[in-house]
Amino acid sequence: MTLKIKVDGMRCQSCVQSIKGSIGGLSGVLHIQVSLQDSRAVIVYHPVLITQQGLRNKIQDLGFEATLMPEVQSGGGLVYWQKDLLDIPIHTVTIWIGGMTCISCVRSIESRVSQITGVKFVTVSLEEAKGTITFDPSLMKPEHLRTTIEELGFDASFGGKIHCNWLSWKTHDIFSSLHKLIRNTVWLVKIRASISHPYTVYIMGLLD
């Protein structure tokens, strides 16, 4: 849906950029245009994710006066809104993700990526090992999405499904557990030997 808000209090382009940056990064906001000359903001948004009152309140939180304006019903206005929708610079990218083992991993990625300015929608599938992200390319680059996921401890790629990560993780986990088992076994042998052969344990300790 498209919403027009009258914005009072803007003095320069810095005010315009402040509103565009803050509102454009909200979940559910697909596109925003702000006019200093007309004192208004035109916002294309998803009503399931954010409301008109919520958008107005967010602008007011930035220190501006915001008033909801009625939708234009004339033919010319309708063409204007349709053109506005067609001009939205929205892209969708698929990122293959390796290393996810549970729904907690999914929630962690979705929560972090959704906080990135310019991201409009994100969904992560544990079964398909991938994330689908809709974003505004004028506000951020796809590579930033990939590196953000990697910073959370997962493997991320645009090229295709990552097949080896689960096996690699399991192999590392097995060797780690085996190492702990061997270490604990050695100490158990030392403890038992110390009871009957204390000098032998002393020599083993020197050899470690």
User: How many domains does the chain contain in total?
Assistant: 3
- Among candidate residues 133, 157, 181, the one where a domain is terminated: 157
Percent of the chain scoring above 90 in pLDDT: 37
Q: Are residues 82 and 116 in the same domain?
A: no
Strand partners, 66: 7
Question: 100 and 126, same structural domain?
Answer: yes
Residue 73 has pLDDT above 80, yes or no: no
Entry pTM: 0.43
**Under 8 Å between Cβ of 72 and 84:** no
H or E element: which one contains 166?
helix 165-196
* Helix, strand, or coil (residue 186): helix
Q: What is the CATH number of the domain that holds 40?
A: 3.30.70.100
Judge contact between 53 and 45, C-beta under 8 A.
Answer: no
- Interval 123-179: pLDDT, tens: 899 999 999 998 888 888 899 999 999 999 999 998 766 554 444 444 445 555 555
At 112, the amino acid letter reads R
Give yes or no: residues 152 and 174 share one domain. no
Domain span at residue 56 reads: 2-86
- Whether 162 is in a domain gets the answer no
pLDDT tens per residue across span 106-119: 999 999 998 888 88
Last residue of a domain, one of 46, 65, 86: 86
Question: Residue 74 gets which letter from DSSP?
Answer: S
